[in-house]
Amino acid sequence: MPDQKTVYPNLDKGKWGLIPVAQLDTYKGLIFATFDPGAPTLPKYLGDMRFYLDCLLDRREGGTELIGGVHKWIIETNWKMPAENMIGDVYHAPVSHSSIITAATALNGEGLNASMQQITEHGRNVAPEPGHGITVRVLPEGLPPDTYLPGDAASLNPVVLDYFRSVQPEAEKRLGALRTRLKPATLTIYPNFSWIGGVFTIRVAHPRGPGKTEFCSWVIVDRDAPEEVRDVIRQSYILTFGPSGTFEQDDGENWQQVTFGSRGTQAVKYPYHFAMAMGEEAQHAELPGLVSGPMSEHTQRAFYLRWRNEMSKT
């Protein structure tokens, strides 16, 4: 655990140094810091996002840990593209990722396709706090027990599947009946920390100048998961959302082309259109935050509204 006032790399000088931070705090193993002395406390900043984060962080008594080091790569896109993608962009998946879904279905059966259909059928886009957002599957009661297990691609592996079956009673005890039925797909914590729940990976999108973004990406697993399970999950991440991953290649190309296309002489004259399912977001009886169906841009609207408001202050 680092010191409260002394952290981290002096990125401008390309070497490690001491930079005073205004606040340093942790949430169930994740470390957050800010240079802003006026920032709210971490619990207040995360707000109701914690309700959903626990589904990923608090399944087991031992918590989670990162494995395999960090992947870093730079792509030519505005950093807000990946943030808004993972805050609730369900509608891109069947089109952007159709090749890999078709190939995976041919090789491994309907597992991945079923996972996508599960998101389309049971997914909800939620803004627990303005600027934070998540796509989460809210599974009904009475489905086959394996349906409620975490993970997507990696959980197609029998070793991983057996592990999650064995620890599900512990997870249910810790999370309660409702959250046992919640399966986070992707999320963004404002502004640039994202999580791909089904693939057990977290990432930060650092701006590296106009139109350039550096990703820092990690694999996160249960601290007490057996070695062979960790290994399958790590390999699954590399195959899907690592820097050379099939899904990552699809998404990265989208983000780069959106950034490039937005600079065109005609494109710059027009605002982006984020009106999908306008006004359909509402309070939910069981879920904190504003909730809509999966084909909605309300989480993106809240994200950009917060961004605009904060940039207007300076």
What amino acid occupies position 228? E
Rounded Cα distance between 205 and 160, Å, is 29
The reply on whether position 251 binds Fe ion by CB under 5 A is: yes
We find the least distance from the C-beta atom of residue 107 to Fe ion, in angstroms, to be: 19
Binding mask 162-201 for Fe ion (x = CB under 5 A): ----------------------------------------
Give whichever of 84 and 251 is closer to Fe ion, judged by the CB atom: 251
Instruction: Give Cα 6 to chain centroid, integer Å.
Output: 28
Question: Among residues 161 and 295, whose Cβ is nearest to Fe ion?
Answer: 295
User: By Cβ distance, which residue is nearest to Fe ion?
Assistant: 251
DSSP string covering 20-40: --SEEEEETTEEEEES-TTPP
Q: Let me know the angle formed at the C-alpha of 217 by 61 and 64, rounded to the nearest 5 degrees.
A: 5
The residues facing 179 across adjacent strands are none
For residue 85, the minimal CB distance to Fe ion (Å) is 6
Stretch that binds Fe ion, among 45-53, 61-69, 203-211, 243-251 (CB under 5 A): 243-251
Residues near Fe ion (CB under 5 A), total:
1
CA-only gyration radius of the chain, Å: 19
We find the least distance from the C-beta atom of residue 231 to Fe ion, in angstroms, to be 25
* Residue type present at position 297: E
Closest distance of CB 167 from Fe ion, Å: 28
Q: Which is nearer to Fe ion, 128 or 198 (CB)?
A: 198
Q: Interface with Fe ion by CB under 5 A: which range of 3-11, 59-67, 169-177, 249-257?
A: 249-257
Residues 6+ apart with CB under 8 A from 122: 137, 138, 139, 140
Mark the segment that binds Fe ion (CB under 5 A) among 101-109, 122-130, 248-256, 276-284.
248-256
Q: Toward Fe ion, which CB reaches closer, 90 or 287?
A: 90
Binding segment toward Fe ion, per CB under 5 A, in 147-155, 183-191, 194-202, 246-254? 246-254
Helix, strand, or coil (residue 7): strand
**24 or 199: CB nearest Fe ion:** 199
140 three-state secondary structure:
coil
How near is the Cβ of 282 to Fe ion at its closest, in Å? 26
Complex with Fe ion: residue 21 or 154, whichever CB lies closer = 154
Cβ nearer to Fe ion, comparing 23 with 96: 96
Over the window 26 to 65, marking each residue x when it contacts Fe ion by CB under 5 A and - when it does not, the resulting string is ----------------------------------------
Q: What are phi and psi of 205, to 5 degrees?
A: -105, 100
Q: What does each C-alpha distance from 286 to 27, 124, 152, 182, 291 come to in angstroms?
A: 23, 12, 24, 11, 10
Decide if residue 84 touches Fe ion (CB under 5 A): no
Minimum distance from residue 238 beta carbon to Fe ion (Å):
16
CB pairs under 8 A, 24+ apart, for 296-300?
296/88, 296/125, 297/88, 298/88, 298/125, 298/127, 299/87, 299/88, 299/125, 299/126, 299/127, 299/133, 299/134, 300/84, 300/87, 300/88, 300/89, 300/133, 300/274
Cα separation, 159 vs 161, in Å, equals 5
Binding flags for Fe ion, 196-235, as an x/- string (CB under 5 A): ----------------------------------------
Instruction: Note the residues at the interface with Fe ion (CB under 5 A).
Output: 251
